[in-house]
């Protein structure tokens, strides 16, 4: 089509100016004027036709037939006029997808791709490694901001017909250049070294989409042999997603990485970052040996920062004396400090390394975890948390006669964890108290969860600062029914979920008084036990959908699964008529000591109520009705705690918000 256009337009002027206002494929070239020879103009017009261009301005002198002066057209309008001169109306390039729509994008790609390294219509030659590559300025500029600045930014190169690219190798640049013209690149058959060179060029020339695509491909093919090279390049070009994949792979295959020769080609920065990670789990003496060998391969590099990442206190005394000292790389004082730290500090204060398996339960038999102490041990890790009753399906220990051993687990290997999920036996309304501690050697224990002063039930979702652990001990301190502590299921993992902790308790940002959150209504009358917590605030009437208690007798009591630090709650009073209620709300952590947080005894309250108070630990919420203008029963449809931020203000429009000063 371009050649035909050229032949039919030989008699016309040789120059034209095109101002691109908004072209999707040329989105980096808006408001830029290109001076094009007549043959390139034809190609460009053809390009615009199939790119759904919005507006172009064309100036031509002498005019192309009906285009006699500078005017603005839609892309289709320009081409319709241009077709009168250069193209036959019967020349069809593709099928109509729908009436009134023409899509020739595939043909456009083929025609533009045919210009790759073609001398025809070329207006610039790129010289790479001494090889001349014919190119087209407008295509390069449209595809790359780098080339736009180079070719049309007023630099010296913008006036040159030949430009040497000194920082590019021929093979990867040829492949990238073909991608520029075609938008197509097959990575599968390329060597990894070439792919990484192309990745470098995409970073240099600003091909962000291609950079992401190559990164995704590299994530899929990462292995022990190439991970060091990929990691180095990803760090150099600041590709956090690819860096993360490489780090996770190296963490899981640390010993294999240390034993592969590719590690000696790592940059100093990459090596330092790799061995500084707590999750790079390998014997410290092996890490030190590899660092020594890396230094031998890279004698001119300053190694002070790298050696500082070796955790000498984790080595045994013979390793420090027989392996580290003879190298001369570590000062005698540093060795003595390591010996002192190991002998005098708490073991759990040492900076241990451990496996990191995000969002994966490491307390499972497939990872080698064992239950070392406790009765009926097999049930704890069998993964079944549905089939249990009074006789089976749990692991237990006596609370009084236990010698502090509790239920003891040994992980298959040291792991980094920051979350524990545990199911307490919950076939009735009993509650438990407990604490959990962790250790690396069964001698030095650190408490990570202490709920010995709180009453807890059902599923426990526990968070704490991340730690490397080998042993976990669960110690029950109280059972409201008997003197046995029962655990149905236990899981531990490292999670990327961020939670706020205060005094070891979660500060929730969403409602935790839900059935899914294992909360329960332990006092109150309802046709459905947990109607108050099922989240249904629409389907209630005179007979159902609410929880109630007789005025002057009893209350409505909600138990949360575990203690939380909360400062608000919300409830919906039954409002199918014009009645009003009075009430007060108390909270507790043990059902013995109650604190008033909401006093509405002297107010006429209707519908939605919001209560705010000073943040404090809460396990139980007691709602006590004191007055009803219609009868002697207090009715509540819905309860939640805490209030979810940003909730619809309409619900709270009729509420009488409690002041923190009203708690008297």
pLDDT tens digits along 506-544: 999 999 999 999 999 999 999 988 899 999 999 999 999
- Residue 464, pLDDT > 80, answer yes
Tally the C-alpha atoms within 13 A of residue 602's C-alpha that lie toward its C-beta. Answer: 4
The whole-angstrom separation of Cα 491 and Cα 571 is 34
Domain shared by 547 and 608, yes or no: yes
H helices of 259-331, in order, are 268-275, 284-297, 304-307, 317-319
- Residue 292: inside a domain, yes or no? no
Please tell me which residue, 412 or 66, carries the higher pLDDT value. Answer: 412
Domain shared by 573 and 495, yes or no: no
The whole-angstrom separation of Cα 254 and Cα 513 is 44
The whole-angstrom separation of Cα 402 and Cα 389 is 23
pLDDT of residue 299: 93
- Residue 6, pLDDT > 80, answer no
Q: Report the range of poorest mean pLDDT among 148-152, 185-189, 228-232.
A: 148-152
- What band does 97 get if pLDDT is binned at 50, 70 and 90? low
- Residue 321: inside a domain, yes or no? no
Domain shared by 548 and 643, yes or no: yes
- What band does 115 get if pLDDT is binned at 50, 70 and 90? confident
- Residue 401, pLDDT > 60, answer yes
Domain shared by 150 and 208, yes or no: yes
- The torsion of the CA quartet 570, 572, 578, 581, rounded to 10 degrees, works out to -60
- Residue 565: inside a domain, yes or no? yes
- Residue 34, pLDDT > 70, answer no
- What band does 315 get if pLDDT is binned at 50, 70 and 90? very high
pLDDT of residue 109: 76
Domain shared by 431 and 470, yes or no: yes
> Residue 191 belongs to a domain with what CATH number?
3.30.710.10
- How many structural domains comprise the chain? 3
Q: What's the domain range around 127?
A: 111-221
- Residue 342: inside a domain, yes or no? no
Domain shared by 463 and 587, yes or no: no
Please tell me which residue, 488 or 115, carries the higher pLDDT value. Answer: 488
pLDDT of residue 143: 87
- Domain end among 221, 250, 278: 221
Domain shared by 547 and 494, yes or no: no
The reply to whether omega before 411 is within 30° of 0 (cis) is no
Q: Report the range of poorest mean pLDDT among 43-52, 140-149, 400-409, 467-476.
A: 43-52
Domain shared by 548 and 464, yes or no: no
Domain shared by 212 and 117, yes or no: yes
- Burial of 656 from C-beta contacts in 10 A (0-12 / 13-18 / 19+): middle
pLDDT in tens, 215-238: 999 999 999 999 999 999 999 999
- Residue 486: inside a domain, yes or no? yes
- Domain end among 433, 465, 499: 499
Task: Count the neighbouring beta carbons within 10 Å of the beta carbon of residue 402.
Answer: 16
- What band does 646 get if pLDDT is binned at 50, 70 and 90? low
> Residue 494 belongs to a domain with what CATH number?
2.60.120.260
Mean pLDDT over all residues of the chain?
Answer: 85
- Residue 240: inside a domain, yes or no? no
- Residue 412, pLDDT > 80, answer yes
- Residue 43: inside a domain, yes or no? no
Domain shared by 380 and 448, yes or no: yes
- Residue 291, pLDDT > 70, answer yes
Domain shared by 551 and 485, yes or no: no
pLDDT of residue 146: 86
pLDDT of residue 254: 96
Domain shared by 428 and 541, yes or no: no
- Residue 70, pLDDT > 90, answer no
The whole-angstrom separation of Cα 63 and Cα 78 is 13
- Residue 382: inside a domain, yes or no? yes
- Domain end among 179, 205, 221: 221
- What band does 112 get if pLDDT is binned at 50, 70 and 90? confident
């Amino acid at each position: 089509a371009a050649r035909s256009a050229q032949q039919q337009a030989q008699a016309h002027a040789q120059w034209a100016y095109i101002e691109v206002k908004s072209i999707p494929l040329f989105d980096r070239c808006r408001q830029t004027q290109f001076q094009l020879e007549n043959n390139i103009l034809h190609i460009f017009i053809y390009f615009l036709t199939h790119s759904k261009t919005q507006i172009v301005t064309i100036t031509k002198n002498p005019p192309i037939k009906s285009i006699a002066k500078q005017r603005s057209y839609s892309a289709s309008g320009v081409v319709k006029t241009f077709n009168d001169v250069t193209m036959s109306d019967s020349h069809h390039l593709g099928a109509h997808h729908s009436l009134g729509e023409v899509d020739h994008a595939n043909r456009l790609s083929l025609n533009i791709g045919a210009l790759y390294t073609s001398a025809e219509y070329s207006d610039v030659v790129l010289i790479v490694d001494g090889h001349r590559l014919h190119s087209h300025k407008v295509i390069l500029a449209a595809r790359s901001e780098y080339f736009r600045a180079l070719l049309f930014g007023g630099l010296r190169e913008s006036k040159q017909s030949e430009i040497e690219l000194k920082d590019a190798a021929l093979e990867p640049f040829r492949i990238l250049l073909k991608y520029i013209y075609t938008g197509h690149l097959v990575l599968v058959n390329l060597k990894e070294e070439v792919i990484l060179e192309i990745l470098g060029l995409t970073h240099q020339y600003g091909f962000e989409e291609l950079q992401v695509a190559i990164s995704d491909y590299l994530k899929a093919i990462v292995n022990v042999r190439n991970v060091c090279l990929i990691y180095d390049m990803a760090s150099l070009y600041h590709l956090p997603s690819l860096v993360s994949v490489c780090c996770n792979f190296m963490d899981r295959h640390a010993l294999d990485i240390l034993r592969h020769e590719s590690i000696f080609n790592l940059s100093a920065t990459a090596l330092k970052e790799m061995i500084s990670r707590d999750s790079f789990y390998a014997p410290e003496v092996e890490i030190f040996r590899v660092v020594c060998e890396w230094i031998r391969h890279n004698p001119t590099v300053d190694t002070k920062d790298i050696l500082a990442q070796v955790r000498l206190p984790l080595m045994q005394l013979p390793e420090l004396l027989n392996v580290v000292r003879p190298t001369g790389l570590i000062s005698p004082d540093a060795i003595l400090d390591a010996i002192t730290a190991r002998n005098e500090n708490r073991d759990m204060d040492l900076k241990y390394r451990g496996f990191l398996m995000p969002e994966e339960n490491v307390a499972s038999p497939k990872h080698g975890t064992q239950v070392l102490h406790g009765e009926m041990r097999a049930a704890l890790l069998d993964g079944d948390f549905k089939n249990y009753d009074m006789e089976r399906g749990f692991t237990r220990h006596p609370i009084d006669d236990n010698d502090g051993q509790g239920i003891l687990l040994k992980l298959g290997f040291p792991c980094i964890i920051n979350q524990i999920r545990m199911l307490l036996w919950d076939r009735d309304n009993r509650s438990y108290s407990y604490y959990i501690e962790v250790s690396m050697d069964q001698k030095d224990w650190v408490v990570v969860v202490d709920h010995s002063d709180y009453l807890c039930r059902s599923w426990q979702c526990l968070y704490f600062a991340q730690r490397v652990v080998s042993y976990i001990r669960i110690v029950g301190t109280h059972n409201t029914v008997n003197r046995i502590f029962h655990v149905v299921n236990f899981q531990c993992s490292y999670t990327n979920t961020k939670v706020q902790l205060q005094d070891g308790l979660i500060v929730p940002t969403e409602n935790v008084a839900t059935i899914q959150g294992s909360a329960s209504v332990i006092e109150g009358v309802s046709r459905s036990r947990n109607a108050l917590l099922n989240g249904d605030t629409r389907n209630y009437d005179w007979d159902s959908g609410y929880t109630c208690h007789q005025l002057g007798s009893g209350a409505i009591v909600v138990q949360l699964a575990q203690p939380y630090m909360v400062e608000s709650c919300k409830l919906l009073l039954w409002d199918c008529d014009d009645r009003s209620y009075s009430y007060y709300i108390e909270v507790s952590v043990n059902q013995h000591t109650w604190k008033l947080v909401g006093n509405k005894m002297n107010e006429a309250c209707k519908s939605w109520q919001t209560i705010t108070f000073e943040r404090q630990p809460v396990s139980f919420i007691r709602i006590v009705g004191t007055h009803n203008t219609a009868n002697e029963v207090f009715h509540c449809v819905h309860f939640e705690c805490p209030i979810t931020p940003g909730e619809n203000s309409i619900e709270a429009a009729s509420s009488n918000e409690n002041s923190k000063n009203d708690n008297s």
